[in-house]
Amino acid sequence: MTGVARPAPASGAISHLLYLHGFRSSPQSTKARRVGDWVAGHRPDLVWACPQLPASPQAAMDLLAATIDGWPLEHMAVIGSSLGGFYAAAVAERTGCPAVLLNPAVDPARDLVAQVGELTTWHSGEPFVFRAEHVDELRRIAPPAPLTRPERYLAVIAKGDEVLSWREMLARYGGGETVLIEGSDHALSDFDVHLPRIVDFLGLSPVLTDPIRRAPARPGPRPRR
């Protein structure tokens, strides 16, 4: 809360958390609301941000830069889903913070070129325009391959993703810790099963009050380059 002094976080502890939704999505997505509810119920001391991202990728990155301006980079983390996972990797590469990538987009410039035109958001039906120049912006902001310091990343990848190739996601983002799910879907309908693993990875030390099963993790293949 504004005007309330917060104790300094312990060394390496996360005090600020950013969540990034996917293409045509919003802060009203199921996963965004679930993480927000968890923060409110278990870690209300965290500074939490889940902004509505504009259609323009460059405008989205500018908004994120403004959102985290003044955040202690050594005490922040980012979670992103689908296109938000792509943005989260870009943010993590620029800030050095840990990141959790949920079925992250690998090459959205390639995949979203077919979406150029007038669209609506999933949750509100609000219209927006995805322009050809937005595809070029995606190419410009793409995080490096391979990612630097892959130990900073946790990738949650569903083999049942009906939108993105799990093999491509694993090859691109599986250099750090990986939860590879047999089945599930692009939306990660079983997200509650994997939330404790995400919390553990970020070192948030929750006091859980609901019996959520823990998902196993395995090391991902290391980048060859």
pLDDT band, very low/low/confident/very high, at 3 (cuts 50, 70, 90): very low
In a domain, 81, yes or no: yes
Residues of the chain with pLDDT > 90: what percent? 83
In a domain, 179, yes or no: yes
pLDDT band, very low/low/confident/very high, at 222 (cuts 50, 70, 90): very low
In a domain, 134, yes or no: yes
Q: Is the predicted pLDDT of residue 71 greater than 80, yes or no?
A: yes
pLDDT the model gives residue 174: 94
pTM of the model: 0.87
In a domain, 173, yes or no: yes
In a domain, 36, yes or no: yes
Contact 70, 20 (CB under 8 A): no
CATH number at 178 reads: 3.40.50.1820
pLDDT the model gives residue 217: 46
In a domain, 33, yes or no: yes
Contact 184, 190 (CB under 8 A): yes
- Buried b / exposed e over 142-167, threshold 16 CB at 10 Å, is bbeeebeebebbbbbbbeebeebebe
**pLDDT 10s digits, 102-156:** 999 999 999 999 999 999 988 888 899 999 999 999 999 999 999 999 999 999 9
pLDDT band, very low/low/confident/very high, at 200 (cuts 50, 70, 90): very high
In a domain, 2, yes or no: no
**pLDDT 10s digits, 8-60:** 445 569 999 999 999 999 999 999 999 999 999 999 999 999 999 999 999 99
At residue 59, the 3 state secondary structure works out as helix
Number of domains in the chain: 1
**Could you tell me whether strands 76-81 and 16-20 are parallel, antiparallel, or unpaired per DSSP bridges?**
parallel
In a domain, 225, yes or no: no
Mean pLDDT, the chain, rounded, equals: 89
pLDDT the model gives residue 123: 83
Domain that holds residue 46: 16-219
pLDDT the model gives residue 205: 75
